[in-house]
Amino acid sequence: MFACVYGAAEMPPDALLAVARDFSPRIEACSAREITLDLSGLTRLFGDAKTIAQELRRTAADRGLRVRVAIASTRTAARLLAHHRAGITIANDGDEAAVLEDLPIELLEIFGTTEPSDPGSPIPDPRSRIPDPVTITLRRWGLRTLGDLAALPSDDVAARLGRDGVDWQRLARGEDPRPLVPAVPEERFEQALDLEWPIEGLEPLSFVLARLIEPLSLHLERRDRGAAVLHVRLHLITRDGVTKDIHERSLQLPAPMRDARTLRTLALLDLESHPPAAAIDRVVVAVDPTPGRVVQFSLLTRPLPSPEQLSTLMARLTALMGEDRCGSAVTVDSWEPGAFEMNPFNPGSGIRDRGSEKHVPPVVALRRFRFPVPARVRTDSGVPVRISIDRRGMNGGAVTTFAGPWRTSGAWWVEERSKSWDRDEWDVTVSDGATYRVFRERDTDTWFVEGVVD
């Protein structure tokens, strides 16, 4: 059993929604003026259908709302009756077709009209809407009521109007096109605390954050949600006690999480790098919720550390080394030797299809030295023939295979000469089997080993 409550155009936004929530948790907002309710099981609390309809109108009238109420076994029948008849309309179970057969066919236009997006804007009356092309076609056929359309053979309607015509015929019979989709009330995942005395420093602030984040974590767990973004707002008070500023920090979390200890640690580490400038008299913690994380480990590979552990580790490293010194090094599209940039550290799952490992081609990588290693190179007609390296573990020797040279230069237009380069690069394999990347600085005619090929 369903009820449809249709209100006047001048009602405040969300006023009708508040009335419906007093009766049923399963409601669907068709528009700002129209709400459908699932009345299953409510007869034990309020009585029969007529009593429920009277209580709905009385509750709405107490709040200054003028509404129509219709109750039927389907949502479609309840909506059609509420739009057509004022007051209270009750359709007994099984009598919907008989009750709807005399209603004008123009009422079907309420199912194809897009309501205004602004809840406060007035919604036009169905009789003032522009006629739908399907309604015009049905009128030309001589159909005037819903009963005329419902009585037509469905095959003939489908042959002339297609699937849309069959859907309109089902609506005329009072059949629901889909189940009711309950409207979920908007929840705010936020906690705030006004302090009796202003505090300074991270140590007293940690106790306040723990007191706020723990109930927030429980709320996320009950709703099966995780925090995607953590917001911390600190209301600051100056020494004169009058002027107030807000110190706000937002942390983009790498994965949905709701562990209270991890969230508090991340907030404290971020505030350690960006401390507030004055004493704090109000603390607000809020999160942007997202669906909870579903974790499925593999039996064949070692699992990576949890996002909570990785986030805490990266936050500690960032607080120690700086924001631009922690992350994953990624090469950039540049001819500059050793050019790279830092991206946020976001490792993959580490899961590999063992059946496809044999099809993975071998990868050749250059293990670049942090600082190039000086070398002595003997050349023949400009080609390196022997390399001597004064570094433990790198013996050098006679060159057996070589490739190059590749001449690159750049940043010669920059005033700071240390950023410019002009060199010839070679890939050489020496007699001990090692392959090196070597280069010659053209301006000084000196050789260096840039890295070893693994």
d(CA 264, CA 155): 64
Sign of CA dihedral 390, 394, 396, 399: negative
Residues 213 and 83 in one domain: no
User: Is 303 within the bounds of a domain?
Assistant: no
Residue that the structure tokens 């300074």 belong to: 200
Sign of CA dihedral 129, 131, 134, 136: positive
Residues in Cβ contact with 237 at an 8 Å cutoff, skipping those fewer than 6 apart: 198, 243, 244, 278, 279, 280, 281
What is the identity of the amino acid at 9?
A: A
The two structure tokens encoding residue 326: 């922690």
User: Is 177 within the bounds of a domain?
Assistant: no
Residues 230 and 282 in one domain: yes
Question: Among the three residues 237, 271, 291, which one is the final residue of a domain in this structure?
Answer: 291
Residues 261 and 385 in one domain: no
CATH number at residue 83: 3.30.70.270
Residues 162 and 108 in one domain: yes
- What confidence tens digit (pLDDT) does each residue in 142-176 have? 888 888 888 889 898 888 888 888 888 888 888 88
**Residue 227 burial (CB count, 10 A):** 26
Residues 99 and 139 in one domain: yes
Q: Cβ-count burial of 356 within 10 angstroms (0-12 exposed, 13-18 middle, 19+ buried)?
A: exposed
Residues 240 and 146 in one domain: no
Residues 26 and 79 in one domain: yes
d(CA 33, CA 207): 47
User: Is 237 within the bounds of a domain?
Assistant: yes
Q: Which of 319, 289, 284, 187 is nearest to 229 (CA)?
A: 289
Q: Which residues pair with 402 in a beta bridge?
A: 428
Q: Which of 31, 33, 23 is nearest to 2 (CA)?
A: 23
User: Is 250 within the bounds of a domain?
Assistant: yes
Q: Which of 164, 112, 161, 162 is nearest to 141 (CA)?
A: 161
Predicted pLDDT of residue 345: 76
Number of domains in the chain: 3
CA 363-365-371 angle, to 5 degrees, is 170
The two structure tokens encoding residue 10: 């001048």
Residues 52 and 149 in one domain: yes
The two structure tokens encoding residue 259: 């562990």
Going by the DSSP 8-state scheme, the letter that residue 115 receives in this structure is: P
- What confidence tens digit (pLDDT) does each residue in 381-431 have? 888 888 888 887 787 888 888 888 888 888 878 777 777 888 888 888 888
Question: Among the three residues 244, 273, 291, which one is the final residue of a domain in this structure?
Answer: 291
Question: In angstroms, how far is CA 336 from the centroid of its own chain?
Answer: 37
Sign of CA dihedral 266, 268, 273, 276: positive
Residues 267 and 377 in one domain: no
CATH number at residue 267: 3.30.1490.100
User: Is 249 within the bounds of a domain?
Assistant: yes
User: Is 296 within the bounds of a domain?
Assistant: no
d(CA 195, CA 96): 60
d(CA 171, CA 146): 9
Predicted pLDDT of residue 349: 45
Residues 277 and 133 in one domain: no
Phi, psi dihedrals of residue 282, rounded to the nearest 5°: -150, 135
User: Is 335 within the bounds of a domain?
Assistant: no
Question: Among the three residues 272, 291, 310, which one is the final residue of a domain in this structure?
Answer: 291
Residues of the chain under the 50 pLDDT cut: 113-130, 349-357
Phi, psi dihedrals of residue 439, rounded to the nearest 5°: -145, 155
Predicted pLDDT of residue 361: 59
Domain that holds residue 151: 2-172
User: Is 133 within the bounds of a domain?
Assistant: yes
Contact 33, 6 (CB under 8 A): yes
Residues 18 and 163 in one domain: yes
- Enumerate the H helices of 130-259 as residue ranges: 133-140, 146-150, 154-172, 202-222
The two structure tokens encoding residue 275: 């401390």
Residues 35 and 140 in one domain: yes
Helix, strand and coil content of the chain, in percent to the nearest 5, comes to 30, 30, 35
